[in-house]
Amino acid sequence: MYDTQAQDDFERAYWRSMWRSLIARVTGRNNELLPFDAVRRSLPYRGQRDLGLQTVSLDRIVGSVGRYRDFDRAFLPVQRETTDRWIRISKARYQDVPLPPVELYKIGDVYFVKDGNHRVSVARERGQVEIDAYVTEIDIPFRITPDMDIDTVLAEKAYGGFIQQTRLDELRPNSDFHLTNPAEYERLREHIDAHRYYLGTELQADVSLEEAVLSWHDNVYRSLVEAIEAEGLLRQFPTLTITDLYLRVSEYQWLVREAARDTLVDDDARAEATDRMADIYRQRVVRRVIRTLRHSTWIDTMIRDREYAAFLEQTRLKELRPDAEVLVSLPGKYEKILHHIAVHQYYMGIDQQRDISYPEAVTSWYDNVYLPAVKTIREQNLLSEFPGRTEADAYIWMLEHREALEAADDSDAAGS
């Protein structure tokens, strides 16, 4: 009786595997077990440890060390070479013969059978939910989940390499840096390297990779991600990850500033940046992102706010003059103010025949150039002619048109 029941169980399991194989071919879904050796060779490896005897959910066992071609993803038998062994184990289960725990490797959130493939197969066929197993965990710097196929797992290799280099899983464990294109992790690392370079230049000191990673995440990546989330871009582009969007938005911002150079960020600069990004990215979804960014005013606001933060950091104006407010309404303008300060420092040095420190130049510019100009702007009520603009905007406009204004004054004087 037990022989017949076990034989029937095998035939039922075998023909179910054939149907699943057919459905997989029609739908294009992967129905294969993950090969442990291929996965293990391809992923960054931190070490392994013995977890001892545990109870493991059967649906999290998705691969095998040596039998990955003998069973499908549901551990149904796909060939008849080991029919007798499968039937013996099934018969033992009917007879309530105790079987030893299987041996598993754990990688991420999934398990691979080292020993006990047929026991796992029979257990799943009989509707068992869990199985006892001796578990050895392979430590990797990211997660593998039961829904992943081999291509997805191998694509994680690039992510694992990025995580292993930056240790972001340890330093900022609540952030997810997955990209849909594995080739772009190198570009993400370049962002960190560039930040490290500029941070070292600013501090006039060597900056460790860990310091640069933390500074990049906290001061660059996180602020931009928060803006992306607030604007609902993830809902608009559900096939992209938050880090995909970080790359697109940050690169668009950079291209806009490059296109504007030392002039105003305007429609021409945005159009040039859009065209350059379109040359880089051919995917339809990315082109949709680019079109969205071109018509998003929050991009300009973020560029301006970053420039303001950099301006304050470079000039230390809030430390030197705590009541100072030099606010512009458009991006691309703080470079002009910094240039004015540098010119003022140069002429101060000539007038006083000595080296002028930068903080001294900043305070002198603010007290003797900027504030008098602002006083004139207020007296002349110039902002009434430029609704939505600031005093700093008007100051820049006055300097840019100083020659024209002086020529007009000379003409008026001659006429009178």
Q: Which H or E run contains 107? A: strand 102-107
Q: Are 3 and 91 in contact (CB under 8 A)?
A: yes
What is the pLDDT at residue 60? Answer: 93
> Which contacts of 24-32 are long-range, i.e. CB under 8 A and separated by 24 or more positions?
30/73, 30/149, 30/150, 30/151, 31/72, 31/73, 32/68, 32/72, 32/73, 32/149, 32/150
What is the pLDDT at residue 299? Answer: 64
DSSP output for 46-57: -EEEEEEEEEEE
Return phi, psi of residue 13, to 5°: -65, -40
**How many CA atoms, within 13 angstroms, populate the side-chain half-sphere of residue 329?**
11
**Cα-Cα end-to-end distance for the chain:** 123
Domain layout of the chain by residue ranges: 2-151, 167-295, 305-415
- The label of the residue with tokens 């691969």 reads 63
Q: Are 72 and 31 in contact (CB under 8 A)?
A: yes
Q: Are 236 and 303 in contact (CB under 8 A)?
A: no
State both tokens at 138: 């392979």
State both tokens at 76: 């149904």
Q: Are 341 and 311 in contact (CB under 8 A)?
A: no
Give the whole-angstrom CA distance, residue 380 versus residue 402.
16
Q: Which residues contact 34 (CB under 8 A, 6 or more apart)?
A: 62, 63, 64, 68, 110, 112, 148, 149, 150, 153
What is the pLDDT at residue 416? Answer: 47
Q: Which residues of the chain have pLDDT under 70?
A: 1, 202, 256-267, 269-270, 273, 277-287, 290-291, 293-300, 302-303, 330-332, 400-416
Give the whole-angstrom CA distance, residue 26 versus residue 21.
9
Q: Burial level of 329, CB count in 10 A (0-12/13-18/19+)?
A: middle
Report how many helices (DSSP H) and strands (DSSP E) the chain contains, helices first.
20, 6
State both tokens at 200: 């070292």
Q: Are 22 and 120 in contact (CB under 8 A)?
A: no
CATH class of the domain whose range is 2-151 = alpha beta
